[in-house]
A = this chain, B = another copy of it.
Amino acid sequence: MKRGEKSSDTWIYDQVFGAILEQRLRPETKLTESELCDVFGVSRTIIRKVLLRLSLDRVVELRPNRGAIIAAPEPKEVREIFDARRLLEDGIVTEAARKCRQVDTDALESMSRQEHKCIDAQDISGAIRLSGDFHLKLAEIAGNRPLHELLRQLVAQTSLAIARYVPAGQGMCDDDDHDRLISAIASGDVELSRRIMREHLSACERRLMLETPETHSDLRLVFADVVAAQ
């Protein structure tokens, strides 16, 4: 079973990955192998390959003998992801600002327009995905394949973080950081580009409710003081 030119497992991987990016699959959702087999009409061999790849991207958690679930990053992990992104994307935006050509600017602007359209249409899922694609496009412009690949992993994990820590229906990027970023990059202003990127990522991070306690809290901790007072 092939769709287009890709192998079936890559196609299925993209479908599941996309569903996670667009939050149609939310954190902690169980991914039963046989169900995925039915959905995509392939054997468990293929599904297990897809799940392994997703787990190595850390968007799926593979629990031995207990199946796969969509990953649910803890607040601490999310902060580390943003720290890592600030580091990587500082380098990426620096290089992008140096190398950016007219075609690149056009591509970025096109992506930003699409993103605005999604936001206007309340299409949160689409907006989140396009926002990630925008950052990956910068990595592509910067022209470093390993960095691009590493950022791809971090962007995916960021989408999970957004899915988990932003109230459903609320957007992440109602401002126009991306447009300001495009201007700075197109003009080749490295320092300005870096500052915008740094502040953009920090603004995204602040919008997440990382201080909110976990839904499945430790009962001993929850009632610690009550029990102590008793």
Contact = CB atoms under 8 A, between A and B. Distances in A.
Nearest to A53: B56
Interface stretch (A22-30, A79-87, A96-104, A163-171): A79-87
A106 B56 CA distance: 32
A192 interface: no
A146 B84 contact: yes
A111 interface: no
A81 B157 contact: no
A144 B84 contact: yes
Contacts of A56: 53, 56
B144 A83 contact: yes
Contact of A80 (B53, B87, B90, B144): B144
Chain A: interface size category: 20 to 34
Contacts of A146: 77, 80-81, 84, 153-154, 157
A230 B87 CA distance: 53
A74 to B, nearest CB: 11
Contact of A147 (B52, B64, B84, B157): B84
A84 B49 CA distance: 28
A153 to B, nearest CB: 7
A53 B53 CA distance: 8
Nearest to A64: B7
A87 B52 contact: no
Interface string A61-97: 0001000000000000100110110011011000000
Contacts of A91: 87
A56 B153 CA distance: 12
